[in-house]
Structure formats: C-alpha cells, structure tokens
Amino acid sequence: MSQLTSSNTEKIQLNTNRHSNLAELLLPELLVEVFGYCVSGPEDFHDSAIIRVNEQRARAPFRIAAVCATWRATAIAHSKLWHYVAIPCIDKPSHCQHHLEYIETVLKRSRDASIDVIFHFLKDDIQLIQGHEPLFQALSLHRWKWRRLCAVMGGPKSVERVLNLLTEPTPRLRTLDLSRQNTAESWTYRTLNIAEWDQWFHMPQSSGNLKPVLVYAPALLHVALVNIPTIWRRLTALRPTLISLDALQEAYSPEMWDVLDGQPQMEWIHLSARDDPPPIPTDRAVILPTLATLWLNERSPQFFAENPAFLRTPALKEIVLQIATRIASMRPYLTTVAPHLRALDIRRVARMQDEDVNALALLVNLQSLVFGSDALITQCLLLRMCAIPEQSRDDTPSDAVQILWPKLERFEIWYSSFEEHARHLLLDVVRVRGRPAPRSGLHPVSIDLQELSGFTRDQKTELEQITGRTYNIETEDEHTWGAGDIVIAEAAAQRL
C-alpha cells in the first residue's frame, strides 16, 4: 500500500507531460477509488504500523493534486482523501511554521471528514512544546472530528500537553494510542525503575493536572497506553463502549483495575508489567464478562499465577503468552479458564518440561495452538502430541493413553527453534495429527510451519507431501551467507 503511494504517484509526477492526456480522460469515479487506495492505511487497531508516521501516505494527496488540473480538482473536492494528519518529528521550534502550514491545509481540505492525527516528539522540552503551541491550537479547533489520535512522547511535559488535548469533547474519537519512547538515538521503549518514574511523573494531588481525560469521548473503542502510569488516575470516565485495551506499564496499579472492572464490552486486552504488582486484597476480583482475548507478557503471568481467581473472564477464548517463565507456574490460572479456552499463542516461553506440558494438557477444548517468536519446541511436547489411543479389539479407542488436545484443528510454528531430535518428532506429529487414522478420534489438524531452519531437504519434502502445503523452511543443505562469505564477496568487489 505504501509502496503504491511512494512509487506510483512519484512516477506519475515525473511523467506528467507524457501522460497528461491519459490523466485527463480517467473518469472522476475511478480517480476517487484510486486516490482512496493511495492514501489508505492499516485499520486493525493491533497493527503496530498505526503508531508509526507514514510520510509517503501523508504526502500522497499533495502529490496526486500536483499531477494535473483534473486530478487536483478531484482530490480537493473529496474530503476523505485528506484524513491523515501526520507530523513525523517535532524536533525544533523553528519548524513549527512548516508543520502548521501542512496541518492547516489538510484540516481545511478534510472539511467534515473524520481525521487520524499522529505525531512524534523527538524530545521532552518545554521550549519545543511552547514553540509548537500554534500547531496544537490548530488541532484543537478540529478536535470534534478526530477519529484516531496516536502520539509518541518524550517525557512528562509532552505527555501533559497531549493529555490536555483530551479534556474537551472528542465525539468521534475511536482510537487513542499514547506512548512514551526513548529520546536517545534508538527509538525503543525505555525501561525506567520505579524511582525514576516517581521523579518524572510526580503530580501533586492539589494541582490542576489531575483533570480527567476522555470524559467526552462517547465513540471510543480502542485505547493503548504505553509507559504512562499516572493516566489511570485521570481516566475517571472511560466509556463503557471500549472493546480493546493495550496497557504496557512499569507496574499495575489499583487505579487500573478500578477502570477495567465491569467494562461491559471489552473484548481484547494486552497487559504487561515490568515490575512486581503491588499486593491486592484477597477478596478483590475484576470481572470482564465479554473479554475474548487476553495477551500477557513480562510479569503478568506471574501475577495471574499468584491470583488465579482475580480476573474473571467467562467468555475468554484466546490467551497469548509472551513470557520467559515456566508455564507450569500458571497451572492454577489455566485451570480456571480451561473449560472455555479455545486458542493459545505461546511466544518466547521458557524451555517446556513435562510439568509444563501437563499444565497445558488441562486445556482439553483447545482448537488452535501457535508457537512463535523464538519459542523452543521440545521433545516432551511433541511426544505428547503424537500420542494416540490404543485400539481395542472392537476398534474403539481406549483410555490407556491420554490424547493431548484431541479437539485441536490448527497448529502453527514460526520463528522458533527446536530441541535436539525434536525435528524428527515434528514429522510424527504431522503424520498423526495432519492425517489421523479414521478411528483415532482425532480431528485433522491444519499445520502451518514458517521461518524455520535446520531441517533436511527430505524432511521438508515429506512435510509438504503429507500436508499438501508449501513451507518457508530453510534446509541444512541450502547455502546460507556467513561472515566468511561476506569477506570473500567484499574482496572480489574491490578487485573489479
């Protein structure tokens, strides 16, 4: 999509004279469809591309309008083409005028259309923020048509300025994504200890800084809050329409649970805490009656392992575990969700042993299992997946062997490594579960294997023959570039 924006529109500009007649002949209805595709972007709230400024997408309507008079008139006449308001880097006060001219043009041409607003602060500096005050004032005047607000901030000053934008009505706001990133050379999330957080985000209770935000956001559906812990004290009126929450914090707070408790339409939550959560009362419980997907990483699994009955989710269907701890520690919590859990996604998990597999075996109704992002596939797991019931003389299954996930319909492994000899067992899993015997009592499992390595060519061929699918698997006999190859190639290039 972005490639179309960056390449095709530039080619059109470079060849305007040559193709001007053709451009003039295209029907306006067709032009609008093409233009709309050029400026479109990801709609999935969980797509990480949403929080990144797409400069090509921001420039696309201007490039389109510069091709010819017909295209310019068509582009300006259709307000929905001007819905993406993006500032890639708020870095110097002297750049404010340039940003302001761009924003005012887009806001004017968007007219009544809903807009997506996204901007990044390079650093947390009061002079920088004050120098861009005209920019924030311009955005505030069009607050009523914000559909999505994504802001990446450098520290408490920029956080506070952005939160102040949310203390007035935003009737169309559906997605709010606020995060604080490192202001150094690498744009990665910064990990601070609690003392630093107290210093950076201390807000006196007597100040006016605790004014609630999102009081007037009746259409809000999705919220992402990354490294902004104090905001929970200010979300006193989080709308009951909310269906998705992404909360990555240093530690959970009682205020966060107060906000979440009883949300009537919440369907998806991603929780991460880098430090141990504070103790909670033994009789405390948070009820999310409609929650379907729960994503846990960092210290979250430990929290739920120690408080298995704290979060009550009767509609939970899927769990994503991105952890480095033992799954066996979560056995009490898995016991509570086992009856209704249908999907499990495991990433970067610690080496699984028999007790971990036994904990996962509690999920008897599991239909989908995914291992990804550096998970380690062990022999004990695959051996249990290969186990099939012994056949009695009347060809009925026996209970002598426990089947692991007998209702499994989907099995996927990507970007994962294998314990020694586990690759051979994967072939057995594919044979037994991919094409189960008629009287085995097992469902045929759809098996997808991507971005794996270390298999022989014969193993890859057999996997593909059994399943009838093509897999992105690097075999041992395929040539791969190493450091020695690069040195040889550079030496050869210098001789040319």
Indicate whether 307 belongs to any domain: no
Closest C-alpha among 447, 451, 416 to residue 429: 447
- Residue 14 has a pLDDT of 47
- Give this prediction's pTM: 0.74
Q: Under DSSP, is residue 261 helix (H, G, I), strand (E, B) or coil?
A: coil
Contacts of residue 182, Cβ cutoff 8 Å, sequence gap at least 6: 188, 189, 190
Question: Among 209-223, 322-336, 414-428, 444-458, whose mean pLDDT is lowest?
Answer: 209-223
Cβ-contact 404, 357 below 8 angstroms:
yes
Q: For residue 181, what pLDDT band results from cuts at 50, 70 and 90?
A: low
Does 434 reside within a domain? yes
Which pLDDT belongs to residue 390?
42
Q: Are residues 229 and 117 in the same domain?
A: yes
Report the chain's C-alpha Rg in angstroms. 27
What CA–CA distances, in Å, run from 28 to 34, 63, 465?
10, 17, 50
Tell me the residue type at 87.
I
What 3-state DSSP class applies to 298? strand
CA dihedral in degrees (374, 377, 378, 381; nearest 10)? 130
Structural domain ending residue among the three candidates 81, 107, 130: 81
Q: Report residue 487's pLDDT band, with 50, 70 and 90 as the boundaries.
A: very low
435 and 344 inside one domain: yes
Instruction: Tell me the pLDDT of the chain averaged across its residues.
Output: 76
What tens digit of pLDDT does each residue of 386-413 get? 875 444 334 444 444 467 888 999 999 9
| Final residue in a domain of this structure, among 224, 242, 260 | 242
48 lies in some domain: yes
CA angle (121 as vertex; 117, 124 as ends), nearest 5? 140
Residues 100 and 155 in one domain: yes
Residues 60 and 140 in one domain: no
Instruction: Mark whether 130 and 114 lie in a shared domain.
Output: yes
CA-closest candidate to residue 221, choices 286, 287, 270, 172: 172
The CATH code of the domain that includes 324 is 3.80.10
* Exposure string for 51-81, b = 16+ CB within 10 A, e = fewer: bbbbebbbbbbbbbbebbeebeebbeebeeb
Are residues 127 and 51 located together in one domain of the fold? no
On whether residue 308 sits in a domain, the answer given is no
| pLDDT for the residue 335 | 92
The answer to whether residue 302 sits within a structural domain is: no
Instruction: State the total domains in the chain.
Output: 3
List pLDDT tens digits, range 244-290: 888 877 667 777 888 888 888 999 998 887 777 777 777 888 899 99
Both 475 and 351 in a single domain?
Answer: yes
For residues 365 and 435, membership in a common domain is answered with yes
Boundary of a domain, candidates 66, 81, 96:
81
Q: Which residues contact 27 (CB under 8 A, 6 or more apart)?
A: none
Verify that 227 and 370 share a domain, yes or no.
no
Strands (E), 139-276: 146-153, 175-180, 222-226, 244-249, 268-273
pLDDT tens sequence across 203-242: 333 334 456 777 778 888 888 888 776 677 777 666 677 8
- Residue 344 and residue 372 share a domain: yes
Tell me the residue range of the domain where 111 lies: 83-199+209-242
Share of residues in the chain with pLDDT > 90 (%): 17
Name the range with the highest mean pLDDT among 41-45, 118-122, 221-225, 338-342. 338-342
Is residue 491 domain-resident? yes
Q: What is the mean pLDDT of residues 426-440?
A: 86
β-strand pairing of 410-414 with 446-455:
parallel
Q: What is the pLDDT of residue 116?
A: 92
Tens-place pLDDT, residues 288-345: 999 999 998 867 777 888 888 888 999 999 999 887 678 888 899 999 999 999 999 9
How many angstroms separate the CA atoms of 360 and 366, rounded? 9
13 and 87 both lie in a single domain: no
Residues 72 and 182 reside in one and the same domain: no
67 vs 411, higher pLDDT = 411
Q: Predicted confidence band at 5 (pLDDT cuts at 50, 70, 90)?
A: very low
Crossing angle of the two packed helices 69-77 and 28-39, in degrees rounded to 10: 70
Question: Does residue 468 form part of some domain?
Answer: yes
Q: Is residue 269 part of a domain?
A: no
Contact (CB, 8 A) for 197 and 221: no
pLDDT tens for each residue of 151-165: 888 888 888 888 888
